[in-house]
Structure 1
Amino acid sequence: MSGIRAGLLSCLALALPAAAGAGETGSARHDGLLESMGASVSAYKDYMLNCGGCHRYDGEGVSRNAVPSFRNSIGLFTRLPEGREYMIRVPGAAQSQLGNAELADVLNWMVANYSPGELAPDFRPFTAGEVGAARPYRFDDVVAARRRLEARLRQLGLTPAPYLYGSN
């Protein structure tokens, strides 16, 4: 077994208990959906290989390096159509080597594991079609896009994790 594979499996052992209980913090309506989205081993592997280096295996991010936490936060973005689009279009997601279906699975895994309590009651999972439609459009200024979304969420009484990139 390669070192990378062994590392992934040991990290998976840490993450799957959280995935199995992800629906416990969400509404009862989401339980089955969250469990199926949160228990995907391939999505977890893709998260670790494409996102975990910056956002960490536990989704905490690294605030001192301006990498936001996904914990109790990333699900808030799914409440707005432009928030869902933002999640797809951020450079780390849009420019990853993942296919559209794989990226959709990773986004679903992230919200199921790190932020199920913040999902709207009418949450619908990301799809390959949704990802494929938004992904080609790059942000001219990702920081400005994030700030606009934060302002919209604040109007709804919601506060995502701090994003300190570009802050003085």
Structure 2
Amino acid sequence: MLMRIHCLDRSPQPGYQSRLRFSHKSRIRAAAVTLLLSLLPMGKALAQHGQGPQYMYLLHCGGCHIENGSGMPPAIPDLRITMPKLASHDEGRAYMVQVPGASQAPVTDAQLTEIMNWMLRTFAEGTFRPYTETEVTQHRANKVLDILALRRQLIAENLEAP
């Protein structure tokens, strides 16, 4: 197959498309590849930063409980008020792991343990026994069908009352 080759210094004839020009699709692909390559360093930094419990809290819990843990009472509890009281009782500790945002978060039990312990350090004043991975695994495996009823029960038992 013979191809016509034109000198680069010669302007093409009207209606003629140079074979040296990139097609529209090729330009889009080249721009996409350039963009992706430019984002790799940022993606790597986010991935490294994203391994910490604070980042995971913001990603999986912060949407409802807000960055500072204030929540939207009464529907979404204020972690700064409820966590200290719940963390001092076994039933409360189980509840905090079993709420859907925690138990169904797409994280490993080890990561959830880190998140829960970060939350205790951040939102619960006082010294509390840190969660163990075994404890988180056990509580996470016990699904609660009516989490609101459990919260009402805990409130009735004065575990969450101010």
Fold conserved between structures, TM > 0.5 = yes
Following superposition, which runs of at least 4 residues in structure 1 exceed 6 angstroms of deviation? none
* TM-score between both structures, scaled by the size of structure 1: 0.63
Kindly indicate whether structure 1 or structure 2 has the higher relative contact order, using CA contacts under 8 Å at least 6 residues apart.
Answer: 1
| Residue aligning to 1:128 | 133
CA contact (8 A) 1:91 1:138 kept: no
Alignment of 1:5-16 (within 5 A): 5=46
Aligned length: 118
| Aligned-partner residue type, residue 152 of structure 2 | R
3-state SS, counterpart of residue 73 of structure 1: helix
| Residue aligning to 2:161 | 159
CA contact (8 A) 1:72 1:116 kept: no
| Residue aligning to 2:80 | 71
Structure 1 position 46 matched with structure 2 position 48? no
Q: CA deviation at 1:106?
A: 0.8
Stretches of structure 2 that go unaligned for 5 or more consecutive residues are: 1-41
Q: CA deviation at 1:63?
A: 2.7
| Aligned-partner residue type, residue 70 of structure 1 | L
Q: CA deviation at 1:73?
A: 2.4
CA distance in 2, matches of 1:54, 1:63: 10
* TM-score between both structures, scaled by the size of structure 2: 0.65
3-state SS, counterpart of residue 45 of structure 1: helix
Indicate which of 57, 67, 70 corresponds to 1:57: 67
Please identify the structure whose Cα radius of gyration is greater. Answer: 2
Q: Percent identity?
A: 37
Stretches of structure 1 that go unaligned for 5 or more consecutive residues are: 10-40, 161-168
3-state SS, counterpart of residue 130 of structure 2: coil
Which has a greater percent of helix? Answer: 1
3-state SS, counterpart of residue 63 of structure 1: coil
